[in-house]
Structure 1
Amino acid sequence: MSATLTPETEALLDAILPHVAFDGWSSDAFTAAARDAGMSLDHAHAICPRGATDLAILFHRRGDSAMVSALQTADLDGMRFRDKVAYAVRTRLDVITDKEAVRRGMTLFALPHLAPEGSKLIWDTADAIWTALGDRSDDVNWYTKRATLSAVWGSVVLFWLGDNSPATANTTAFIDRRIDNVMQFEKVKSAVAKNPLTKPFAQALGALTAPIKPPSDRPRDVPGKWDLPS
């Protein structure tokens, strides 16, 4: 069973972060976190069966939740949709409370047995962004939008980790370039759907449906594909 964000796991997560910079998301850091949180190691393992790995996952999920909260109160009116997506990606970076914890997390989830979990976390971030922006697609676009944004997010994090520019301004410019790349992909996808030679293939993909149909009360302001620049 995966750990969930509760007052106890939040306390453990806060306690482990100072140790992650030195010991990574390791058993030593987890042991120190339990001690600092005033919790027995047995109880800490009872609420986080995989130890530091569970806390690394919760750290990522807490960042996603903070991003969603920030987007819900942001004034996005008047923005082009591609700018809303770029703003959301930048916001996800801005809510990160510990850059070194992210760096160490990249190392952790690069391990072969944890790589699928790391990929799922990236996908979940992309899904959280689209959902927060009101996405209602329920066909193949549900998958392609999350897949392309997952690729964007992964590359952005790698760039950001090495960015020492003031206020990581270079990262903001990098995000804009990557979003522009996605716009080009959407143009190609649109062309494939209209080309007589590839239209049957596009129609076959169109038969795909999203895993969970979006709630009927979700805002209907997001088209099935990203708005293309004029």
Structure 2
Amino acid sequence: MAGLLNDKVIIVAGLGGIGNGLAKRYADEGARLVIGDLDADLTTRVATDLDASGERVLPTALDGADEGSVASIVALAVDTFSRLDGIHVNFTSAADAYLPGGVVDMPLDVFDDVMRVNTRGFVICAKHAIPPMIDGGGGSIVFTASIDAYNGAGTRVAYQMSKAAELALMRHIARRYGPKGIRANAIAPGLIWHYKFDEMTMPDGVVDQTRARQMIKSRFGNPDDVAALGALLLSDDGSFITAQTISVDGGVTFRP
């Protein structure tokens, strides 16, 4: 039985906690994938786990904030599979995530790094992915954003600003390139528990505070929750959905 993404050519830009789940779900749905990450060893391991033949899942090193690197992953997809149907931009810098201060205390080098990756990097991915998708008759762009894009917080101001910028870029793409067959949407996760959290010590109170804010109390989100929505948005079943930000956060946010 064909999956939602049967034979679509999809780039997953950014692996790790959520990204590994995206790659697995999209491969299970029948997509042909090019996956990239700064961690080239991780990329190779994920690709081998998903497709030992190397015919349907191609790994490559990717620095999403470097234009040459992004151009290369797009070219690899098009040269290998003859087209590009979609890209899920999933990498992020959260360099200020656990800094205690606000904008007055923000080190500008940290601010610049977050904006370089989360804003400039997303622009570069859109710039290079849109033309071949238009050439192929259309396609879908999905951004992994965050509920921090519209939830105020007293810290991590650079991260919040960058995620709001991603939503502005998504809406621009949907309006400007929609008539040429390009759809663009964003997924805004809340706390998505993945293997990296098992390897770190969370700041005091974060887990309990998050559970208290969720309407779904039985569990935290996991990468499969994000991947399920991403598969829909990249698929023909989602072909009338564009310019939307959809939260995957267990009901932390209530938005029209």
Both proteins in one fold, TM over 0.5: no
Q: State which structure, 1 or 2, has the greater radius of gyration over its C-alpha atoms.
A: 1
Which structure features the higher share of strand residues?
2
Which structure features the higher share of helix residues?
1
Give the structure-1-normalised TM-score.
0.31
Give the structure-2-normalised TM-score.
0.28
